[in-house]
Amino acid sequence: MTRKSILPARIIITIIALSSLAGSNALSADKRVVTDDGREVLIKEDGTWEFRSTDRFANTKDGQRILLKEDGSWQYVGNVPMVSKQQVRTTELDIKLEKVVIETHEKKVQKNTRVDSQTVIYLNLELSPLAKSSISINKNDISLIKVTDNKNRHYPVISIQPVPKILKPDADTKITIRADGAPQWWKNIKTMEITFKPGIFGIQEPVTLSQKVDNFDKKKVDGFEEIK
């Protein structure tokens, strides 16, 4: 017969009490947070809160964000964050989807005509003058890019140009991303998305841009751009 060890009741009660105390301490510590308009708030363990400063954010008409300090001074802190289907802007980086072009190349194969296609995505990246560091772009960044359509079909990314590239604060650059294949209208493809994973362009969170297929440009080419 197997004997089971039984803890004394007073030890069990002590363990429960210590566990509850540890959990309470983790949840009850005072915290400092910043509101959307820039004011610092102290969140207290007793369930109350209070403002710790009267600093606030304000947005200018040209898309800049400024911090209005309680001493009457102010300073630029970067861009006004925004998110749309064709543009995502953080306080430091502005990523804009300018256009998408479907390139097709026809090639005679014996008596038949073979049609190959690539989807070319044109982006503009602008780095705020207040950015803390430059952005490095290289050909290995294609592993951090995903191109899909509304039917969840994937289009392998084959290049990003120009590379290597260093984007410095207070500068902008044009980036071209090529994906193999193109959406087919008879398969009811209506939109395409390009997703940038954390790490590329220095971003910390995924960024997704999208465009309607009806708004794509179409172009016949003699051959596709050589991948270097």
Give pLDDT tens digits for 83-139: 999 999 988 999 999 999 999 998 877 778 888 999 999 999 999 988 889 999 999
Tokens representing 63 are 């898309």
pLDDT level of residue 190 (50, 70, 90 thresholds): very high
SS3 161: strand
pLDDT level of residue 7 (50, 70, 90 thresholds): very low
Query: In whole angstroms, what is the distance from residue 128 CA to residue 95 CA?
Result: 11
Q: What pLDDT, in 10s, does the model give residues 13-50? A: 333 443 443 444 444 577 777 676 667 788 888 888 88
Q: Within a 10 A sphere around the Cβ of 79, how many other Cβ atoms?
A: 23
| pTM over the 0.75 mark | no
Please choose, from the candidates 190, 209, 181, the residue with its C-alpha nearest in 3D space to the C-alpha of residue 124. Answer: 209
- Can you list the domains of the chain with their CATH numbers? 31-79 (no CATH), 81-220 (2.60.40.1240)
Please choose, from the candidates 200, 115, 188, the residue with its C-alpha nearest in 3D space to the C-alpha of residue 157. Answer: 200
Query: In whole angstroms, what is the distance from residue 218 CA to residue 158 CA?
Result: 19
Rg for the chain (alpha carbons), in Å?
27
Strands 217-220 and 93-109, by their bridges, are parallel
